[in-house]
Structure 1
Amino acid sequence: MGKFNEEYLGYMSQAANDTVLLTNHALDFIEKNDYSEAVNWYKAHALCMLAVQIGEYNEAFQQLYTQLNEDSNREFSSVYLNEEDYLQWFDDVVELNRLFISLGYTSAYVYMHELYMNARYGFKDETKATEYLNKGFEAGNPIAKAFVGYNTYYGNLGFNHSKEEGIRLLKEASVSENYRAEIFLLNIEFGESTSAEEGWSVLEKYDNLIHNQKRGLYVLADYYLREGQDAKALEVLNEGIMHKSGYCSYLLGMMICNGRFDNFGFSTEQGREYLQEGFERGIAYSKFLIGYFYLYPRDNSEPDFQKAIANFEKAAQYNSAEALLELALLYLYHKDFKNIALGMNYLDRAIAENYHRAMSEKGYALLDFEEVERNVEEGKSLLEQAMNLGNDYAPYRLGVGYQNAEFEAEADYLKAHELFEISAERNNINGLEQAGRYNRFGYAKEPNPKKAADYYQKAIELYDSNYCKVELAMLKESGYGIDKNIEEARELYESALQNNYSFAAIRLGFMYEDGVFGAKEPEKSREYFQIAADAEIGEGFYHLARCYRYGIGGKLEEEEAFILFKKALEYGFADANVDIALAYEEGSCGQEFDADKALEYMSAAAEAGIGYAQYKIGCYYTYGMLENSDIEVGKEWFEQASHNGSPLAMLALGDYYLYGYGQEKEYEKALPYYQMAEERNYLSEGIGICYQFGLGVEKDENKAFNYYKEAASRGYGAASFRLGLCYLYGNGTPEDTIEAFFHLREAADAGNMDAAGYVGKMLIKGEGTEPDPQQGAQYLKQSAEAGYADAQYELGNCYLKGEGVEQNDELAMQWYQTAAENGNENAQKIVGGSRKRRR
Structure 2
Amino acid sequence: MGTFNTEYLNYVSQVANDSKSLVDHARELLQLNNYEDPHMWFKAHAVCMFATQIGEESEEIIKLYNQLFEESNCIHSGMRLNEADYRLWFADVQELNRVYIEKGYARAYAYQYELYERGRYGFKNKEICKELLDKGCLSGDDYCQIYKGNCIYYGIFGYEENREEGLRLVTEIADRTGGDLAELFLLNMKTRSCETSEELWAIIEQYDKLLNIDKKGKYILADYYLRVENDAKAVESLLEGIDNGSPFCNYLMGLLIVNGRFASFGYTEEQGRAYLDVAFDYGVIHAGFIQGYFYLYPVDGGANDFEHALPYLKAAALYNSPEALLELAMLSMYHNDYKDIAQGRVYLDRAVEEEFVKAYTEKAYMLLDFPEVERNVPEAKRLLELAMDKGNDYAPYRLGLGYQNAEFEEESDYEKALYLYELAAERNNLSGLEMAGRYNRYGYVNEPNLAKAIAHYERGIADFGSDYCRVELAMMLVNGEGQEPDAVRAEQLFHEALENGYIYASLRLGFLYEDGYLGESDPVKAREYFEKGALGEQPLAESVYHLGRCYRYGIGGEEDHVKAMELFEQALELGFVDANVDIALAYEEGTCGKESNPQEAIKYMSIAAEAGINYAQYKLGSYYLFGYDMDVNLEEGKKWLMSAVDNGSPLAMLTMGDYYLYGYEPETVYDPAFEFYKGAEERGYISEGLGICYQYGVGVEKDETLAYSCYTRAAERGYDSATYRLAQCYYFGIGTDKDRVEAFHYFKEVADRGNIDAAGYVGIMLVSGDGVEQDAEYGVSYLIQAADADNDLAQYELANCYLKGEGVEQSDDLAMEWYSKAAENGNEDAQKIIGGPRKRRR
Shift of 1:837: 6.9
Match of 1:545 among 531, 534, 548: 548
Task: Answer yes or no: is the 8 Å Cα contact 1:547–1:556 preserved in 2.
Answer: yes
Pairwise CA distance, 1:286: 1.5
| Aligned residues of 1:142 and 1:178 also touching (Cα < 8 A) | no
**Can you give the 5+ residue segments of structure 1 that lack an aligned partner in the other structure?**
none
Q: Which residue of 1 aligns with 2:723?
A: 720
Cα distance in 1, alignment partners of residues 798 and 271 from structure 2: 105
Deviation at 1:800, TM superposition (A): 5.7
Deviations 1:16-67 (A, max 9, x none): 2222332233233233322211111111111222223222222323322222
> How far did residue 802 of structure 1 move?
6.0
Contact 1:559 1:589 (C-alpha < 8 Å) held by counterparts: yes
- Aligned-partner SS, 1:34: coil
Residues of 2 paired with 1:781 and 1:231: CA distance? 105
Q: Decide which moves more: 312-321 or 292-301.
A: 292-301
In the TM superposition, residue 581 of structure 1 has moved relative to its aligned partner by 1.0
Q: Secondary structure at the match of 1:642?
A: helix
Seen in structure 2, the aligned counterparts of structure 1 residues 807 and 328 have a Cα distance that, compared at 3 Å, is farther
CA shift at 1:403, angstroms?
1.6
Partner residue, 2:16? 16
**Aligned match of 1:211:** 212
| Counterpart residue number, 1:94 | 94
Q: Distance in 1 between matches of 2:594 and 2:781?
A: 34
**How has the CA–CA distance of structure 1 residues 358 and 192 changed in structure 2, closer, same or farther, with 3 Å as cutoff?**
closer
Match of 2:638 in 1: 635
2:298 is equivalent to residue 294 of structure 1:
no
Query: Which range moves more in the overlay, 655-664 or 260-269?
Result: 260-269
Please state how far the C-alpha of 1:203 moved relative to its aligned partner.
0.9
1:484 equivalent in structure 2? 485
Q: How does 1:99-498 map to 2 (within 5 A)?
A: 99-175=99-175, 176-498=177-499
In 1, Cα distance between equivalents of 2:565 and 2:818: 47
The one-character-per-residue Cα deviations of 1:713-749 (angstroms, maximum 9, x if unpaired) are 3333332222222222122222222333333344445
Measured after TM superposition, the shift of residue 751 of structure 1 is 4.8
Summarize the Cα distance change of 1:635–1:92 in structure 2 as closer, same or farther, 3 Å threshold.
Answer: same
Cα offset, 1:803, TM superposition: 5.3
Greater alpha carbon shift after TM alignment, 160-169 vs 345-354: 160-169
Secondary structure at 1:122's aligned position in 2?
coil
Contact 1:94 1:112 in 2 (8 A): yes
Deviation, structure 1 residue 93: 0.9
In structure 2, relative to structure 1, the CA distance for the partners of 1:190 and 1:830 (3 Å cut) is: same
The one-letter amino acid of 2:566's match is I
| The one of 682, 686, 711 aligned to 1:683 | 686
Q: Encode CA deviations 1:672-721: one digit per residue, 9 max, x unaligned.
A: 22222233232222222212111122222222222222333333333222
Aligned partners of 2:127 and 2:158 also within 8 Å: no
CA displacement at 1:786 relative to structure 2: 4.4
* Superposition deviation, residue 138 in structure 1: 1.4
Q: Secondary structure at the match of 2:337?
A: coil
Task: Report the Cα distance in structure 2 between the residues aligned to 1:777 and 1:297, rounded to whole angstroms.
Answer: 94
CA distance 1:338–1:736, shift in 2 (3 Å): same
Tell me which amino acid in the other structure corresponds to 2:78.
S
Name the SS for the 1:336 alignment partner. helix
Following the alignment from structure 1 to structure 2, what is the Cα–Cα distance between the partners of residues 425 and 235?
38
Residue of structure 1 equivalent to 2:56: 56
Q: Write the mapping of 1:506-545 to structure 2, written as runs, cut at 5 A.
A: 506-535=507-536, 536-545=539-548
Q: Deviations over 1:396-454 (max 9, x none)?
A: 22222222222222221112222222222222232222222111111122211221222
Task: Give the AA of the match of 2:822.
Answer: A
* 2:796 maps to 1:793: yes
Distance in structure 2 (CA, Å) of the matches to 1:237 and 1:561 = 69
Contact 2:799 / 2:819 at 8 angstroms: preserved in 1?
yes
Cα distance per residue 1:111-144 (max 9 Å; x no partner) = 1112111100000000000111111111222222
Contact 1:325 1:350 in 2 (8 A): yes
Matches within 5 A, 1:431-830: 431-535=432-536, 536-749=539-752, 751-773=754-776, 776-798=779-801, 815-829=818-832
Q: Take 1:652 and 1:65, find their aligned partners in 2: how far apart are those partners?
A: 96
CA shift at 1:604, angstroms? 1.1
- Partner-residue secondary structure (3-state), 1:471: helix
CA distance in 2, matches of 1:687, 1:479: 31
Residues 750 and 73 (structure 1 numbering): CA distance in 2 closer, same or farther, change over 3 Å?
farther
Q: Is the 8 A contact 1:147 1:181 kept in 2?
A: no
CA distance in 2: counterparts of 1:776 and 1:321, whole angstroms: 96
Deviation at 1:566, TM superposition (A): 1.1
Distance 1:39 1:594, change over 3 A: same
SS in 2 for 1:377: helix
Conserved 8 A contact 1:2-1:84 = no
Residues 213, 667 of structure 1: CA spacing in aligned structure 2 closer, same or farther, 3 A cutoff?
same
Q: Deviations over 1:562-591 (max 9, x none)?
A: 111111111111111111111111222222
Q: Which amino acid aligns with 2:529?
A: Y
Paired amino acid for 2:123: F
What code does the residue aligned with 1:58 have?
S
Larger mean CA deviation between 807-816 and 547-556 belongs to: 807-816
Give the whole-Å Cα distance in 2 for the aligned partners of 1:783 and 1:267. Answer: 99
- Cα–Cα, structure 1 residues 532 and 757, in superposed 2: closer, same or farther, change >3 Å? farther
Give the residue type in structure 2 aligned to 1:320. S
Residues 632 and 662 in structure 1, CA contact (< 8 A), matched pair in contact too: no
Deviation, 1:750, is: 5.3
Q: Do the aligned partners of 2:126 and 2:158 also contact (CA within 8 Å) in 1?
A: no
**Structure 2 vs 1, CA of residues 68 and 781 (structure 1 numbering), >3 Å: closer, same or farther?**
farther
Q: Percent identity?
A: 55
Instruction: Pick closer, same or farther for the CA change 1:183–1:747 going to 2, 3 Å.
Output: farther
TM-score (ref. length: structure 2): 0.95
Counterpart Cα distance in 1 of 2:808 and 2:841: 31
Task: Kindly state the Cα deviation for residue 290 of structure 1 after the two structures are TM-superposed.
Answer: 1.6
Partners of 2:200 and 2:790 in 1: CA distance:
94
Partner of 2:43: 43
Q: CA 1:449–1:633 in 2, change beyond 3 Å: closer, same or farther?
A: same
**Aligned-partner Cα distance in 2 for 1:534–1:666:** 53
CA distance in 2 between partners of 1:531 and 1:808 (Å):
73
State how far apart, in whole Å, the 2-side matches of 1:741 and 1:24 are.
131
Instruction: Give me the whole-angstrom Cα distance separating, in 1, the residues matched to 2:181 and 2:767.
Output: 112
Query: 1:322-359 deviations in whole A, cap 9, x for unaligned?
Result: 11111111222222222221111111111111122222
Write the deviation string for residues 528-586 of structure 1: whole angstroms up to 9, x where unpaired: 11101112111111111111111111122222111111111111111111111111112
Measured in 1, the distance between the counterparts of 2:570 and 2:814 equals 57
- Letter of the aligned partner of 2:564 in structure 1? A
Deviation at 1:234, TM superposition (A): 1.7
Contact 2:351/2:359 (8 A) holds in 1? yes
Give the Cα separation in 1 of the matches to 2:247 and 2:803.
Answer: 117
Instruction: Go from structure 1 to structure 2 and tell me whether the alpha carbon gap of 1:756 and 1:415 turns closer, same or farther (over 3 Å shift).
Output: farther
Alignment deviations for residues 460-511 of structure 1 (CA, whole Å, 9 cap, x no partner): 2333222221111111221212343222211110011001111101111111
Gaps of 5+ in 2: none
Deviation digits for residues 79-107 of structure 1 (CA, Å, limit 9, x no counterpart): 11011110111111111112222333322
Letter of the 1:80 partner, please give it.
R
- Residue 71 of structure 2 aligns to a residue whose secondary structure is coil
State the 1:836 CA deviation.
3.5
Instruction: Call closer, same or farther: CA 1:721–1:62 in 2, change over 3 Å.
Output: farther
SS in structure 2 of the partner of residue 71 of structure 1: helix
**Equivalences, count:** 839
